[in-house]
Amino acid sequence: MTRSISHTIGLLMLAGFSLLGHSLAHAEESERLGALIKQLGAKSFAKREAAVEAIAAFGIDAVPPLGETLESPDAMVRVYARYLITTILDKDRQQRIRTFQHGNGELPRWDTFCEIVGDGKNEREYFLGVSNREWELLTWVDWQPEGRELDKLEYANWQFLRERKHFQAPSKFDRSLLLLLMCESTNEEIQRYFDAGGGEIRVLWNMEDYGKFDQYVLSRLRNQWLLRCSQCETLDSEVRVGLLVRAMQSNLKGGAPLAKRMLSELGQLELDMYGEKSINWPIMTLAKCGSKSDSAALDPFLDDDRLITTSDGPVTAAPSQDDGSQSPQTCQVRDMALAAAIVVHGLDPRDFGFVKIQDAGTLPFLPSSVGFDTDEDRAAAFQKWSDLQRDSAER
């Protein structure tokens, strides 16, 4: 029994065995199938084998009623039912995959994957790998639970934990699948996912030695996941900041909408430098992941003179070009917003008087290096930016 089929049977038992989209066309066929399933417990081996052959001919339509017999008191019926479910689902999977390989038909979740990643030859081959890896998760929405809600992210996390329990790192296909399910999630599902601790989301951003196309696929899926999260209004600041950091680490444009939403909700932001609710995180995310069209979200902060930090001693930065000295500097909210706006427009903040600003790896700049030594320096920087904006508008 293959791993994916054995897991599908487990999912059937958990979900309640009601298959959406597959039903027998006539009551007569349903009654005949029910009689054949009872025949699986016959004393005659020949009758049991005849029933197996006849039930298999029903194909996928036989799976729901077979699933209902997995808890039959008759051990023989349970054995045959499990065998038939395995055989039928495996045959159906192989047929659908063969059809897809020849450029026809669609596989479960392919429409979502295609919309996010693309519909080329490489994309189809990659998705075949996902399908072969975790078929039962791709088809989970075809199984309608009875009596309990089956959360796809919860179940996908279970798959991740299963891999790690056996000291197997989740593969690129595992990561792609979980991201794909996340992209289809409702806001309620996303909230429950983070309420439970976020599961294995950090695994999705681990740096791996993947090929160029693999990285492209994962980046597209990660980006779409961030866009989904930006639409979930109930996520708290800590979760959002964590997603912004991930966006900056991977330079994903999907971080920009989330950053703009945070900036529009000023009550959730504070004026500390690195705290989980710091105003710096969404501003820096726009600088790293945003575009010129996103700079309007920074405009309300260009007049905000609230103090973020004061440097009482020398800032760890390059010496001033004038005399080599290092003067204390202050950073206001508007300074951070100006630096971000300059970067978003493809310009260098140093050309506007941010002489101590430093690069910071995955961040667009080091927050503590942003600011000015004097009010005169600050005024000159803002005047230069204002002149540039006016000249651009007149062109």
Are 284 and 247 within 8 A, CB to CB? no
* Angle between helix 75-101 and 45-56 (nearest 10): 30
Q: What is the DSSP letter of 359?
A: -
pLDDT per residue rounded down to tens, the chain (395 residues): 444 444 555 545 444 444 444 455 567 888 899 899 999 999 999 999 999 999 999 988 888 888 888 888 999 999 999 999 888 888 888 888 888 888 877 888 899 999 999 988 999 999 998 888 777 667 655 554 444 444 555 555 555 555 555 556 667 887 888 788 888 888 887 887 787 766 555 556 665 667 889 889 999 999 998 999 888 888 888 888 888 988 998 889 999 999 999 888 865 566 655 555 578 899 999 999 999 999 999 999 999 888 887 655 333 344 444 445 555 789 999 999 999 999 999 999 999 999 999 988 889 998 889 999 999 999 999 999 999 998 888 77
In angstroms, the CA 276 to CA 167 distance is: 32
Closest C-alpha to 66, from 34, 93, 25: 34
Amino acid at 281: W
In angstroms, the CA 181 to CA 195 distance is: 17
Whether the predicted model's global pTM rises above the 0.75 cut: no
Give 276's contacts (C-beta < 8 A, 6+ positions apart): 237, 238, 241
Compute the chain's Rg from CA coordinates.
Answer: 29
In angstroms, the CA 264 to CA 293 distance is: 16
Are 138 and 177 within 8 A, CB to CB? yes
Closest C-alpha to 252, from 215, 223, 213, 228: 223
Are 69 and 37 within 8 A, CB to CB? yes
